[in-house]
């Protein structure tokens, strides 16, 4: 039991450290708007706390995956643009060579 509590406390501390100030501000604004003070907050059961932590971790995982996919798409787009640019350069070079070849054939 104490190990679970220590793990939960450690996870809670990590979560508090990772939450950005904007999120804290938004939550405190919602509490203030609805007149919820520290003494009016009800305590959550361990199961509810764990469910919330699992949900937060799942959302963080989804957000990280989204960012990775978005970065990957950007990299693929840049690579595609570079490939197209190289292809265009090759075509110009080939066309120049053809024009030069025609000139030399005509002479």
**What is the C-alpha to C-alpha distance for residues 9 and 11, in angstroms, rounded to an integer?**
5
Taking CB atoms within 8 Å and a gap of at least 24, the contacts of 80-84 are none
Quick check: helix, strand or coil at residue 40?
coil
CB 56 within 8 A of CB 15: yes
pLDDT in tens, 34-86: 888 877 777 778 888 788 878 888 988 999 999 999 999 999 999 988 888 77
Whether 93 has a pLDDT exceeding 70, the answer reads: no
3-state helix, strand, coil in the chain (%, to 5): 85, 0, 15
Answering whether pTM is above 0.75, one says no
């Amino acid at each position: 039991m104490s190990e679970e509590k220590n793990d939960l406390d450690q996870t809670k501390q990590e979560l508090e450290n990772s939450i950005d100030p904007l999120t804290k501000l938004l939550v405190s604004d919602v509490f203030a708007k609805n007149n919820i003070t520290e003494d009016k907050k009800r305590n959550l059961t361990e199961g509810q706390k764990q469910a919330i932590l699992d949900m937060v971790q799942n959302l963080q995982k989804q957000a990280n995956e989204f960012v990775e996919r978005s970065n990957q798409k950007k990299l693929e787009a840049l690579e595609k643009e570079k490939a197209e640019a190289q292809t265009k350069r090759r075509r110009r070079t080939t066309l120049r060579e053809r024009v030069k070849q025609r000139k030399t054939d005509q002479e």
